Chains A and B, each alone.
Chain A
């Protein structure tokens, strides 16, 4: 049984008595042709965190695709299973969503980032997370300000969602989704909520995740480079929320302040998982561009990056991507 194959290697991070399992995607360099295994010294590592209860491969193995792509560009990439998730041992709380929303994985993620940085001699890491994984990434970035050099957030949320919706509400939602009359009622409901939102002066909703917003402000206002990728939402226009919903994106951009380096991209043609062909290609291309812009590689790998960029541009035209900035 091999621990390593071409381009990737299974790793365990055992520091502080907690064993975390993951996969390391070795960076390629132009100097060694297509051979992987280049030194990771002084490079930025890309670290993927679990999205809620999904294993580290993520929906449709999209995280494997992204990690391989970034490693091909010269960035050592790591996919970790946090304690209790994927192949890493540990008990997960019954209320996993609440645990994550309260920053439950921040401390252990921070410990493991330290370990990765030391073991692979990295200059720091960019944390990448999708949905609940993005929430963990924000908390972890606040917990290790020196080592976390950037964030890639895929459809993060800033409220505290209910893990289980009441049956009646779920039934109404299903009816609204699938019937014409239900759709019409849903539109009226949206307008009423919109009016109420205006009456409340667009105040932050009661179920906002105040702890997360505070960590977001902490990290974003320092000028930490952040790439914020959004998938289209149902009944929403562009990056705007559905009528009647609070505009968290606008709010968090305001919180980030003038010195922030938050780049927002809307990725058309995908869904919340970003796992379809268009979604994964667009995430890859936006992130590679963002990485080259904020974390340029040393000369020896620049050629590879450019080649990859050239390859990307072939597919890029097929994707309908709107750049807000």
Chain B
């Protein structure tokens, strides 16, 4: 009886076929622009319209553009700095704020989430005003400050989620056994929240690599990051060079993400296997 009901309902053959088709269409739509872009980056034509033959000359051109390399390294430098800063401050803060009560703590916590909801343009302007009022010259440091402000809530949230899943008495057990709070933080808390810290850091890094609005508000005339460069190129019109550049970035980050996911998946599996083996040995 029950099975019949199921069959009639969502898992019947017709339903299933329809849902697979829907999924396929959505994925095609989602990836179509990227695929078209990649295809054009190898097109030996300046107009993007008709396929004129395969070429890698735009890539070669990019490779031999020293200005682009500099932009690349500046972007990377900013991303690394922001990731480090954001991860350290966000992690410490998530742990600290979750176990301390001090006046104004709620307000601080509310404001940490601010960059998450208010548009980047508002945050960018607010920070611009701050630097302006204080006569601070714009440049790489101000970009780092801005981007760190943006990524902080992401790290904060991921670490907080890990902390929420942690039994608070585990930390107390450590303190009870004679470890002070610092020792406990590094030996007990950190290992437990590490996955959250890593995914927070990873999120920060990819956010910053793609960050345009905040960066363009907080950069001086001399500082250009990769997204800014791409944006200004696009404004001047679609060219095969942009296709090549964006393809490289897209493929590079995709590979990084996939490698990250595969590695963490393999680690999980390895651990599971080991546990099974140990479990059998213990039987």
Chain B associates with chain A: no
